């Protein structure tokens, strides 16, 4: 994948160094890099106004280059110059942009970009599931490659679809919850699968992703669970039967051998408090070698982790 929101945090944060030698040589656009370095310096938390000499010293730019850049930024309102001291600080136009960006749903935006990159790289469907309540998620974006678009039969991950966090699905959202929350979630499942669910949640938490086994009843189960709160007792009983039939939930480490049949792989995105607020889900929907599945899962986990890093 190209380096966008899924690249390493170190690579993206390198321009934020407050001092040290110039690093324009590795930049695709040195002039842009210079502007970014000045903005990141002035916009640093609790950064007091800086005179031009300090900007030059801390960015490694020449005085002429730094003066030209801050002059342009002043003209656009991104930087202000104190008329008495000559020191520079971030301006109202930049602050307004930062506020607008802060109020935007960056989780969905970044996750959508990652999902699309994964879909393109591995040539398979992918989607983003975002938490919109304590026990409710919604699909905020989905992408389906052209080769499978005409025969795609997975309405359960269409944009806007809402699904309750009911066992045994959405495990990547539950695996990092408190012991009490996990127990309450497991208690909604039939007795026959509760022990398996406890073990599976530990496995998901350890490796960083869930794997949905491929079964004939998978889509039917999702459809039923999506309307569980407003259905008849008869359909509730059907859901219970489906859950009982799906006794082999997810894969435990010892089971990831040979060839593995998987519908989806879901990796969690954490906010600054450690809550799972979304997940990136790729959909192999096929049987593949265990090594290939692990590679796909690790790439998905890495993409989700890159977003979590930015939310800390």
- pLDDT tens string 49-71: 999 999 999 999 999 999 999 99
- pLDDT tens string 41-53: 998 878 899 999 9
Q: What is the pTM of this model?
A: 0.64
- pLDDT confidence of 15, banded at 50, 70, 90? very low
| The two domains 9-103 and 106-311 share their CATH topology (first three levels equal) | no
- pLDDT confidence of 16, banded at 50, 70, 90? very low
Better pLDDT: 209 or 17: 209
Architecture of domain 9-103: Orthogonal Bundle (1.10)
**How many beta carbons lie within 10 A of that of residue 6, not counting itself?**
24
Query: Which residue in 141, 137, 140, 188 sits closest to 167, CA to CA?
Result: 188
Which of 87-96, 172-181, 234-243 ranks highest by mean pLDDT? 172-181
Q: Rounded mean pLDDT of 112-118?
A: 95
Spans of all domains in the chain: 9-103, 106-311
Q: What is the rounded average pLDDT for all residues in the chain?
A: 81
Q: In this model, does residue 102 exceed pLDDT 70? A: no
Q: Rounded mean pLDDT of 87-102?
A: 79
Q: In this model, does residue 219 exceed pLDDT 60? A: no
Q: In this model, does residue 184 exceed pLDDT 50? A: yes
CATH 3.30.450.40 for domain 106-311 = yes
Q: In this model, does residue 10 exceed pLDDT 70? A: no
Q: In this model, does residue 7 exceed pLDDT 70? A: no
% of the chain at pLDDT higher than 70: 75
Take residue 262 and report the two structure tokens written for it. 């998987």
């Amino acid at each position: 994948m190209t380096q966008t929101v899924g690249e390493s945090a170190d690579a993206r944060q390198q321009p934020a160094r407050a001092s040290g030698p110039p690093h324009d040589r590795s930049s695709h656009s040195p002039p842009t890099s210079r502007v970014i370095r000045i903005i990141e310096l002035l916009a640093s938390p609790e950064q007091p106004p800086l005179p031009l000499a300090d900007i030059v010293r801390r960015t490694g730019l020449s005085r002429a280059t730094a003066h030209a850049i801050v002059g342009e930024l002043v003209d656009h309102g991104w930087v202000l110059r104190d008329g008495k001291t000559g020191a520079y600080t971030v301006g109202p136009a930049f602050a307004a942009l930062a506020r607008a960006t802060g109020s935007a749903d960056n989780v969905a935006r970044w996750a959508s970009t990652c999902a699309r990159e994964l879909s393109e790289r591995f040539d398979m469907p992918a989607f983003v599931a975002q938490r919109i309540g304590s026990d409710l998620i919604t699909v905020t974006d989905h992408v389906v490659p052209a080769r499978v678009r005409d025969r795609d039969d997975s309405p359960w991950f269409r944009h806007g679809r809402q699904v309750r966090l009911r066992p045994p699905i959405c495990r990547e959202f539950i695996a990092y919850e408190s012991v009490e929350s996990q127990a309450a979630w497991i208690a909604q499942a039939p007795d026959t699968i509760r022990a398996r669910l406890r073990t599976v949640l530990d496995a998901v938490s350890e490796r960083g992703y869930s794997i949905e086994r491929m079964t004939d009843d998978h889509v039917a189960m999702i459809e039923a669970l999506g309307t569980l709160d407003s259905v008849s007792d008869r359909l509730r009983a059907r859901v219970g039967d489906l859950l009982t039939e799906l006794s082999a939930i997810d894969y435990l480490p010892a089971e990831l051998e040979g060839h593995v049949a998987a519908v989806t792989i879901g990796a969690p995105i954490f906010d600054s408090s450690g809550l799972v607020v979304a997940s990136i889900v790729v959909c192999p929907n096929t049987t593949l070698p265990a090594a290939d599945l692990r590679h796909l899962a690790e790439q998905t986990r890495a993409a989700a982790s890159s977003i979590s890093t930015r939310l800390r």
